[in-house]
Structure 1
């Protein structure tokens, strides 16, 4: 996984007012933690961070005070209405160190004919991987799967150096049978009217 270099500046002001001033300057408040060290409060350029976060579990080289530190995003807080990044938690990592992350699952292929539905029980698979070799995603083929089929966590091929961080029998994807269409309401009403007419008709003597 390629590293993305992002400059950072120490953050000395705190509180909602200070955070708003930081964001008005197109910066994002962030905290760096890990390895038992005291958390570091910094600010990072909003646009560069936004571009970096397009890659899941992106490896960031944080440039701060003439030195660099490898981090990965662990929690991203966004404005619920406008969607801009309000705050980000960054986990400090080292080369060769293993971390637990959730890797997105991408499907390819077409289900067997029949109008069945594909359900993603898990949108991401928890795995343990080297911090510098985190997979961007797992591609799973659903080609030809029929109703009742399921793909379990253990069915997904992991790259060397990665291992599952969840129950191997956890259902990741399953195929649901298409539901039978209900009869139109008009047909039901017509049938009811025919029954009523038949009941009112005089019996032949």
Structure 2
């Protein structure tokens, strides 16, 4: 794998305010770790590190890091360990590098990328399922791939590709379970939503209330006295 060159400068750790000041100057605070014990605080140009992350493949890139004003004149071979971003702007806030030995094998996660359109999708009303997108491998830094491209164009309906089906270099050891599923073409089924005709509860309540308030057909005449009887009662003299 080709090494990408990156220049950096030593920096003094000064907390959040110091880091904020660096970012305003177009610099990103970073740390280089070696075997998890030693660490060096550095700063890199935001423009340069962004280019590496976005255009060159991000974390699975072998970087030739030169730190200016450092006693150790020889460039360091590093890979990106972690990138911290602003949750809203997505700008880079901080980067952690791991220094590695080119003679020692490293363990990294590599992205699985589909290439082509499968027969099952084009001709058999299928849809391509891609459940596992990263696998773990072990290799020398110079043999580390940017990603693993898998040709899925020959996949028919109900056919699959597993981790064990990957054709990789003998220099790469796969650590992920070989039986795990990478790709599968399944039948595309459209969901049919059935509309159920139902009365609105509010209308039912109003209807029931009206029915309760309306008296029976013969009940109104029995409940109210005829007008003639009312007149007779009004004409009767009061008993003294």
Report the counterpart of residue 123 of structure 1 in structure 2.
133
Q: What is the Cα deviation at residue 149 of structure 1? A: 2.3
Report the counterpart of residue 56 of structure 2 in structure 1.
55
Q: Secondary structure at the match of 1:145?
A: coil
Which of 81, 92, 95 is residue 85 of structure 1 equivalent to? 92
Q: Structure 1: any 5+ residue segments left out of the alignment?
A: 190-205
Taking the TM superposition and a 5 Å limit, the aligned residue runs for 1:4-153 are: 4-53=4-53, 54-56=55-57, 57-64=60-67, 65=70, 66-111=73-118, 112=120, 113-153=123-163
- For residues 139-184 of structure 1, what are the alpha-carbon distances to aligned partners after superposition, in whole Å with 9 as ceiling and x for unaligned? 1111132343221111111123111021111112222321144266
- Kindly indicate whether the alpha-carbon contact (under 8 Å) linking 2:13 and 2:41 is maintained by their aligned counterparts in 1: no
- For residues 170-205 of structure 1, what are the alpha-carbon distances to aligned partners after superposition, in whole Å with 9 as ceiling and x for unaligned? 1122223211442664xx76xxxxxxxxxxxxxxxx
In the alignment of these two chains, the number of paired residues is 187
Structure richer in helix, relative to its length: 2
Q: Secondary structure at the match of 2:129?
A: strand
Q: Structure 2: any 5+ residue segments left out of the alignment?
A: 198-240
Taking the TM superposition and a 5 Å limit, the aligned residue runs for 1:169-184 are: 169-182=179-192
- State TM-score, norm by structure 1: 0.83
**What is the alpha-carbon distance in structure 1 between the residues aligned to residue 99 and residue 14 of structure 2?**
22
Structure richer in strand, relative to its length: 1
Compare CA radii of gyration and give the structure with the larger one. Answer: 2
**C-alpha RMSD over aligned residues:** 1.9
Report the counterpart of residue 220 of structure 2 in structure 1.
none
Q: Which has the higher mean CA deviation after the structures are superposed, 66-75 or 145-154?
A: 145-154
With over 3 angstroms needed to count, the CA separation of the structure-2 counterparts of 1:133 and 1:184, relative to structure 1, is: same
